[in-house]
Structure 1
Amino acid sequence: MTAALFTPHTIKNVTFPNRIVMSPMCMYSCEARDGKATRFHYTHYTSRAVGKVGLIFTEAAAITMQGRISPEDLGIWSDDHIEGLSNIVNLSQEQGAKVGIQLAHAGRKAKVDGPILAPSPLPFDDKMKTPEEMTKDHIHDTITAFREGARRAKEAGFDVIELHAAHGYLINEFLSPLTNKRDDKYGGSRENRYNFLKETIESVKEVWDGPLFVRVSADEYHEEGNTIDDFIYFASEMKNQGVNLIDCSTGGVIPAKIDAYPGYQVTHAERIRGEANIATGAVGLITHPLQAEEIIQNERADLVFLARELLRNPYWPRTAAVELGAELKAPKQYERGWN
C-alpha cells in the first residue's frame, strides 16, 4: 500500500510529487540588505529539492522595502529581484520540486529604519516602534505592491504564491480586532476587517492564475481575538474568491505564551478543511513520518508543512519513505547510497 504522504496532489494546473512542503522560514542572509538572493539561498533551497521535498517555499519576500521583517530578508519590491529568485526556482525545479513564494508585509513588526505602517498606531510591545496608521493612499499603494510582487513572482517562474496573513504581520493586523481599531471600511466588523485581504486577493489574481495559498494564524491566543469560527468564515470567503489552500498556523498577533506540542496546530487545519470545505496545510512541530502520514491518511489536511525538521535534515523525505515503506526514487547521483 502506497503511503498517503507520497501520493501526488494536484491544485489547479500544478501537480506536487508528494504532500511534503518546506514551510517559509526567514534566513536573514541578504548580506547587502538589498533583498537579493545570494549563493546561500541557491544552496539552501536546492538541497531540499535534491532531498525530494515536493513543494519548497522560499522565505517571506517583502513587497516593499519598508515592509521587511528584517533588512536581511528576501525582497520582491523591485524587478531587480527577479533574476535571483528565478535562479532559486530553476535550480529547484531541475531536481523535480515545485517552488512557491510567500509574499509579505511586516506591518507593525517590521524591524527597519524609518517609519513603519499598520492599520492602527499600536506597537507590538514596549520594545517595538509605534507604527503610523495607514491612510487610504497607503492601503491602495500596499495592495498594488502585492499585485506587483505577484507579477514578479510569475516572471520568476514560481509554481505557487502564498499570501502571508499570519503571525501578526500586516494582513493579519487588518484581520484581527486586537490590532485593527479603524472606523472606516477596513475596520470594525469581521466583514470590514476582511476587506484589506479581500482587495489584496482580487489585485493579485489580476496577474496570477496559478495556485494561491494564504497562511493564517487560526488562534490568536487572546479572549478578545479572532476565534476558529472567525477563521472558518475568512476561509469560506477566500474560497469564494478562488484561494486554493489555507496554510494553518497560529499566534504572533500579540505577545503570548503558547503551549506548543507535536501537531498542536493540526486541529485548526482539520476544522477549516471540514467546515469551510477548502484544502488546508498543517504546520507546527510535525517531525515524525508516522505523524505526517496520519494527517494525510485521515484527511485532516491536504499538505504537511515542515519547518525546523527540514533544517535539521534536508533529506527528511527519504527518512520518511524508509520508515513508511514507500518507494522514493533517488537522484541518480545518489542511487548507490540512497537505497
Structure 2
Amino acid sequence: MDKPTPEREEVRVQVDGRTLTITNLHKVLYPRTGFTKAEVLNYYAQVSPVLLPLLKDRCVTRIRWPHGVQDGSFFEKNTPPGTPSWVRTAKVPTTGSRAQSSSDTLVFPIVDDLATLTWLANLAALELHVHQWTVGRNGQPRNADRLVIDLDPGEPAGLHECCQVALLVRDKLADRGLAARPVTSGSKGLHLYAELPKRLPSDESTAIAKEVAEELQGEHAKLVTATMTKARRGGKVFLDWSQNAGSKTTISPYSLRGRERPAVATPVTWAEVEEGADDPLGLDQFTPEQVLDRVAEHGDLFSAVE
C-alpha cells in the first residue's frame, strides 16, 4: 500500500547559489495527464537555456494555478509577499503609455536566472506573459523592440487556418521590411513575432500591426478579421494587433500553458507552418516533452535565422 504523501512536503535545493524551499513536488497540476509540480519544475529547468534569454529584461506577468488547472487561476503582476530579496524587480507605471508622471506603479519580477524561474514555478506560475518592451539597466521601461500579432481562430477554424493566414501575415510584414517568426500559442493558434529595426513607442508598433490586420481583413474577408468582437470571429482567424500596447502582454515562447493538458508555446519553422497550411493535421500544439526533444535537436528556433 502506498504511503500517503505529507500534506506539505518541503525540499531545500540549491539553484545558482540560491537556497530555495520547494513544496509539494507530488502535487498534480494537470489532472487529465497526471503532470505534477515536479515535472513542471523539471521542464522549466531543462528549457531554461533557451527560455531565459527571451525573458531577459522583460517584466513578467504570471498566471498561477495553486491547486492545478482544474481549479481557479489568477493573474499576478506585482511581486507577491515573501518574494526573495535577490529577485530582480522593475517598478513601472500602470498606464498604457507608461508615462513617468503616473503615481500608480507595479513592481514586476524580471526573470533573468534559473533561481528566479524555479521560484516562480514552485508558486505554480505555469504561464509567463511578457510585454514587447524591455527595461533598461536603470530599471526604466524602454520602447518596444519587437512586434507581435496573435492569430486566434474562431470555431470551426483552427490551427490549419491559422497557418494559412500566417503565410499572408508573413508577406505583409516582409513588405514592411520585417521578418516574422512563428510560435504555436500552446492553446489554439499561432503568434508571429518580428524584431523591429529600431525601438518604437508602443502606439507606433501597434499601428503597424493594426494596419497589417486591416489590410488582410479587406483582402480575405472570409478568412480574416481584425475586429475584436467575438461574435464576428466564427470560422475566421482574428488578427489580434492590440497585444503591442504598452500595458498588454503575450505568452512567452517556451512557456507552459494552463490548459487541460500540458502544452507549450513553441517556436516552429516556416516549413512546418507551410505544412500546416496544406494539411489540416500537418501541425499541432506541442507537449513539454516534445519541446525539449526539439530543443535538443534544433536548438532555439525562435532565435535561429532561417
TM over 0.5: no
- Give the TM-score range, shorter chain: under 0.3
TM (normalized to structure 2)?
A: 0.26
Higher strand share: 2
